[in-house]
Amino acid sequence: MPFTFFNDKIMELVKATENDIPLIQDLARRSWENAYAEILSAEQMEYMLGTMYSTEEIAGHLQHPHYHYYLIKDGESNSFEGFIGYENAYEDQTTKLHRIYLVPESKGKGFGKKALAFLADKTLEAGDGRIILNVNKFNAARQFYESQGYRIYDEGVFDIGNGFVMDDYLMEFIIHEQ
């Protein structure tokens, strides 16, 4: 049974298990179809969803001791609205936010802000003081991250196979000076 780590009347964060992989895959598809429809080709989106969100890939993450997935649940409607996936100790004293996605109808309800606050708490608990992430250069999420105190520290183009690349800003949030 999932254990709720963060709970209020508006949102719950529930630790995901292997039983939740189909739900994570569905939430990823629903959010990606909205977030990336005008950024990525349909072929690249299908390729990335098929590789990054395969059952084997997510199961491997869930078995890794530093990688965590939490489902974002609307406390009022009792429905799952997204998820967050992060890895503590990704680099020295650094947690990497690999994924945070919300379905389109849940945006603007404060779930993203609360999930990032939760991530900051979990980062400190793990002994890390910095959070990093990649965001597509054309994704409006960049402005959301900046509004939450993240800053761009670099950029990169990453070959992800099949002739596709990710063209990203690298962002960071310093929780405390190290």
pLDDT tens, residue by residue, 28-68: 999 999 889 899 999 999 999 999 999 999 999 999 999 99
In the chain, how many domains are there? 1
Residue span of the structural domain in which 104 resides: 4-174
Q: Comparing C-alpha atoms, which of 175, 140, 168 is closest to residue 154? A: 168
Mean pLDDT of the chain: 92
Region of residue 89 (left: phi > 0; alpha: psi -120 to 50; beta: else): left
- Domain of 104, CATH number, reads 3.40.630.30
pTM: 0.92
